[in-house]
Structure 1
Amino acid sequence: MRFLKILSLLLILFSLSCNNAATNPGESSGGGGGGSGGYPPPSIKFPDGASVEEKAKLAATLAPSEKQLNWQKMELTAFIHYGMNTFTDRGWGTGTETPSQFTPTKVDVNQWVSTLKEAGFKIIILTVKHHDGFCLWHTETTKHSVQYSPYQKDIAKEFADACRAQGMKVGFYLSPWDMNAESYGKGQAYNDFFCQQLTELLTKYGPVDEMWFDGAKDEKYGKVQEYDFTRWMDLINELQPNCITANLGLDARWAGNEGGYARDSEWSPVGFKPDAYGDKGYNEKYGLTAEDADLGSRDVLRKVPEVFWFPAEVDVSIRTPTAPASDSIYDQWFFHEGKQSVKTMQEIMNIYYKSVGRNANLLLNFPVNKEGVIPTEDAARIKEFKQYLDNNLTTGFLKDQDTSWIGADNGQSKEYALTSSKQINVLIIQEDISKGQRVEKFSIEYNNNGNWQAVTLSDISKATGTIGYKRIIKFSNITTDKIRITINQTRLPANISSVNVYYSPTY
């Protein structure tokens, strides 16, 4: 029996090297980076009876699809919330609004795009339909759209054209919940309606790089609707195979909160199965939810039969609600005059450290105001953020060195020498995730007058656990000419792609 189990493990490892892509979301696929199509994303099923150590080694061979890898490299995604709620001062609409209530005098999409491009974002996701069902594009599915408003113009088209003109990627948020649609709550009829809306968005506006879904619904309104996410994923793959499906999609998952932070140890190969597979009861069976503090450690591997490459995306707004909107919701997403404050630079930097700095992408929301622009103070804050990163966390003191470290195994250390003694308090370390995420724990030391001494971690970093695509560690100010990284625990020999150190004077 032991021989058969070892043979099974070897066959799985061999199959991973062959990049055999599955053909539908219900099948599993082995994961080398850059696999054909990337649909569904890579996953690995464990052989029966595999030990937790054997599972960990197999999970370490899992790697992202090419489009997942490219998505992770973008790091920063912008969200734009603009719609009926902007004009009704609500967090959630009711579906009873009329297009005549949507009354912008202008919509300056070029200002949105230029502001966010200059701030370092690579892609913008526009909320083209929120729960009220009002559509920001010219659709044949309903008259509850911008086409029948005083503004009339197709905002989705204006937005997509502006993005492409400035070299930005395009994303759409389409709420599955539609309180205006007559077919909502009628099962397949609504899913047909939703697929027609999806088809319009995916065929009328050029390449769509990300589709973002949530599972919003509220049965207290008396309508029960099952969303056919599997069908939606198949349609997206058919029409836009390079499109990332996020949150309740297949390619990127919600980090579990809207507060702007990922887990202290954020795994991309996780036991949590994407809901878009339509495998009801799977996650409940293994005691997993999207909000759990742990989705990928050995404790999780011990109890699950499979892992999925499903990296985290952190969604939060640049604005903090200070008073409720007219429907009593403290809303951070849509613009509410006098009821929100723009986050401070310290708050934005904390979010950056806890999202991009913890192996997640940051999805930062910008509420557009009634004048159709990103407000001046929001634009100024994100410009300040970009300038701070450029000035302090871009070049680094190891910039002229090859800091890669291939085959970093348990207990091994590597020293990195600075050109001279420098004051530092930030370390950025990255794994080559095209070969998997492997490091479970590492440590940082510095040369202190000939003795190696551990750095003192800041509260925002807490621990040096996983690495993944990028890990940013903040620690107390030190002055040194040399640092040492030790791999304390790794699932397989790790592939460290880069190490660098910085001094952040303010944040």
Structure 2
Amino acid sequence: MKVIRLVFFLCLLLTQRLYAQTPAQQSLSAFMNDRFGLFIHWGPVTLRGTEIGWSRDKEVSKEEYDSLYKEFDPVLFQADAWVKTAKDAGMRYLTITARHHDGFCLWPSKYTDYNISHTPYKKDILKALQTACKKQGIKFCIYYSVLDWHHPDYPIHSAHHAKLDPQADMQKYIAYMKNQLKELIDNYDPYMLWFDGQWESPWTDAMGKEIYAYVKRLKPGIITNNRLGKQFAAMENKEINAADMVGDYDTPERVVGRLNMTMPWESCFTLCQQWAWKANDQMQPLQKCLAILSKTAGGNGNLLLNIGPMPDGRIEARQVARLKEIGDWLKINGDAIYNTAGGPYEATNNYATTRKGKNIYLHILNTDTASYLLPALPGALVKSAHTITGQPVTVNTSNKGLEVQLPESLRRQLQYVVVLELDKDAMTLPVVK
């Protein structure tokens, strides 16, 4: 009997080890359950209102752009207010451009003078945000570009004149990167690192793998996006093989990613048109923001929605108001977003679906119509249906599929959610096209 018990215990222990998640896998699972985060592009370039990084050597000369930090004094910056804006929007993590392609650092890095401590403002932006995020229960994440047009050892010094500098030294530059990444991890303990800028020719997948392994050694539980390597969905929404990625999740840009139940992904969009602040920049309508959020969750991905604060450190009041409108919608409909899986239906311009437990959440994006006809659910029955606020909804099943009769009172209103309660676990359903 003792031998049987011992064998049983060893088998149980082996099973637990086989199925136990690593710290990074646990971090990634929690991150993907969050579904919604705030992206922030900010730096001295806001003094000119042009795009961060990309306007250097174009709308703004290199000499002028690289001197803007001497004027940068965001005296109205309040980290608690920024984080509260994210929290009020229903966001659960925040990602800040600690260093964009222009090389300027929002923290007092020991490895370059081109940083916040050499501005009139002087104070550590990252530390203030990290402290505010911790206080308000928001995951603190850091954007870090792998290219740096300002650094002498990075071979390209302008996005618009990509001639390689023979005096540059990529090995010295990678050592510089490692020093800064260690500084960021040691001093600010980011939940996630969001890399970018890996498309230029000096950067290789081998370098990306080296940096990926390095940051994992520094902090085993940290996660990164896949922009350390060349394989990523980008604006073309390319279909990629997860095995070819350098990183933990894919990053479509300004487009909702493909429905994928196995490979994690996060789409980034801008609330206005430009990533960095621009005066009178056109802002996205609320309905479009909500549709992007629902379609993203419906595809089993996260949404990283970007804002660009003003030169004085404030987020524009109109942007704060729009984000709060999203948060107000999530207070009612958050069960259909957070901790859900995508599918089982692929999103359309009319609807998206998420699922959790025995529920399918049908996101009604087009509220002009009186009914939706959905494909049949194989092996599952809809026991009842109602809006997420409890208003009854009629669902008729036929050989054509599921006909969902939408409430007349909600016609031509803001998008809303219908809950389809099933007789089985919704996660057992295959993707229905």
The bucket for the TM-score relative to the shorter chain is 0.5 to 0.7
Tell me whether 1:35 sits opposite 2:35 in the alignment: no
Unaligned segments of structure 1, at least 5 residues: 1-15, 21-31, 39-64, 278-288, 298-307, 321-331, 426-445, 459-476, 488-492, 497-507
Distance 2:296 2:86 in 1: 18
Aligned partner of 2:352 in structure 1 is: none
Tell me whether 1:88 sits opposite 2:48 in the alignment: yes
Instruction: Work out which of the residue numbers 178, 190, 196 in structure 2 matches 1:208.
Output: 190
Q: Structure 1 residues 126 and 374 mapped into 2: Cα distance closer, same or farther (>3 Å)? A: same
Tell me, what secondary structure is at the counterpart of 1:412?
A: coil
Instruction: Work out which of the residue numbers 125, 143, 152 in structure 2 matches 1:182.
Output: 152
Write out per-residue CA displacement over residues 99-142 of structure 1, whole angstroms, 9 at most, x where no aligned residue.
31323233221110011112111110110111111111001111
Q: Structure 1 residues 254 and 364 mapped into 2: Cα distance closer, same or farther (>3 Å)? A: farther
Aligned partner of 2:3 in structure 1 is: none
Say which structure is richer in helix.
Answer: 2
Tell me whether 1:75 sits opposite 2:35 in the alignment: yes
Aligned partner of 1:372 in structure 2 is: 313
Q: Structure 1 residues 273 and 109 mapped into 2: Cα distance closer, same or farther (>3 Å)? A: same
Distance 1:272 1:422 in 2: 42
Structure 2 residue identity aligned to 1:210: M
Aligned partner of 2:288 in structure 1 is: 347
Tell me whether 1:414 sits opposite 2:396 in the alignment: no
Structure 2 residue identity aligned to 1:89: G
Write out per-residue CA displacement over residues 152-204 of structure 1, whole angstroms, 9 at most, x where no aligned residue.
11111111111112222110001111111111122211111111111110101
Q: Structure 1 residues 296 and 117 mapped into 2: Cα distance closer, same or farther (>3 Å)? A: closer
Asked if structure 1 preserves the Cα contact closer than 8 Å seen for 2:359 and 2:422, the reply is: no
Tell me, what secondary structure is at the counterpart of 1:319?
A: coil
Write out per-residue CA displacement over residues 254-307 of structure 1, whole angstroms, 9 at most, x where no aligned residue.
55339xxx89xx9xxx73434427xxxxxxxxxxx979999898xxxxxxxxxx
Write out per-residue CA displacement over residues 372-399 of structure 1, whole angstroms, 9 at most, x where no aligned residue.
0211001101111111232356489xxx
Instruction: Work out which of the residue numbers 135, 139, 145 in structure 2 matches 1:165.
Output: 135
Q: Structure 1 residues 37 and 102 mapped into 2: Cα distance closer, same or farther (>3 Å)? A: same
Structure 2 residue identity aligned to 1:447: N
Aligned partner of 1:455 in structure 2 is: 403
**Offset at 1:86?**
1.2
Structure 1 residue identity aligned to 2:134: R
Asked if structure 1 preserves the Cα contact closer than 8 Å seen for 2:275 and 2:308, the reply is: yes
Structure 1 residue identity aligned to 2:23: G
Identical columns (%): 25
Which is worse superposed, 352-361 or 170-179? 352-361
Q: Structure 1 residues 170 and 393 mapped into 2: Cα distance closer, same or farther (>3 Å)? A: closer
Q: Structure 1 residues 335 and 274 mapped into 2: Cα distance closer, same or farther (>3 Å)? A: farther
TM value normalised by structure 2:
0.68
Distance 1:295 1:175 in 2: 25
Q: 1:398-409 to 2 correspondence within 5 Å? A: 403=358
Q: Structure 1 residues 293 and 356 mapped into 2: Cα distance closer, same or farther (>3 Å)? A: closer
Q: Structure 1 residues 347 and 495 mapped into 2: Cα distance closer, same or farther (>3 Å)? A: same
Q: 1:142-291 to 2 correspondence within 5 Å? A: 142-185=112-155, 186-205=169-188, 207-216=189-198, 218=200, 224-226=202-204, 228-248=207-227, 255-257=233-235, 271-276=241-246
Tell me whether 1:384 sits opposite 2:325 in the alignment: yes
Q: Structure 1 residues 294 and 385 mapped into 2: Cα distance closer, same or farther (>3 Å)? A: closer
Q: Structure 1 residues 360 and 150 mapped into 2: Cα distance closer, same or farther (>3 Å)? A: same
Asked if structure 2 preserves the Cα contact closer than 8 Å seen for 1:272 and 1:290, the reply is: no
Q: 1:475-490 to 2 correspondence within 5 Å? A: none
Asked if structure 1 preserves the Cα contact closer than 8 Å seen for 2:258 and 2:299, the reply is: no
Asked if structure 1 preserves the Cα contact closer than 8 Å seen for 2:191 and 2:223, the reply is: yes
Instruction: Work out which of the residue numbers 266, 278, 281 in structure 2 matches 1:313.
Output: 266
Tell me, what secondary structure is at the counterpart of 1:333?
A: coil
Tell me, what secondary structure is at the counterpart of 1:77?
A: strand
**Offset at 1:364?**
0.6
Tell me, what secondary structure is at the counterpart of 1:177?
A: coil
Structure 2 residue identity aligned to 1:66: Q
- Please, what is the CA RMSD of the aligned residues? 4.3
Q: Structure 1 residues 457 and 248 mapped into 2: Cα distance closer, same or farther (>3 Å)? A: farther
TM value normalised by structure 1:
0.59
Asked if structure 1 preserves the Cα contact closer than 8 Å seen for 2:256 and 2:267, the reply is: no
Tell me whether 1:336 sits opposite 2:278 in the alignment: yes
Distance 1:386 1:319 in 2: 17
Distance 2:31 2:147 in 1: 26
Unaligned segments of structure 2, at least 5 residues: 1-13, 156-168, 338-355, 361-376, 407-414
Distance 1:393 1:104 in 2: 34
Tell me, what secondary structure is at the counterpart of 2:246?
A: helix
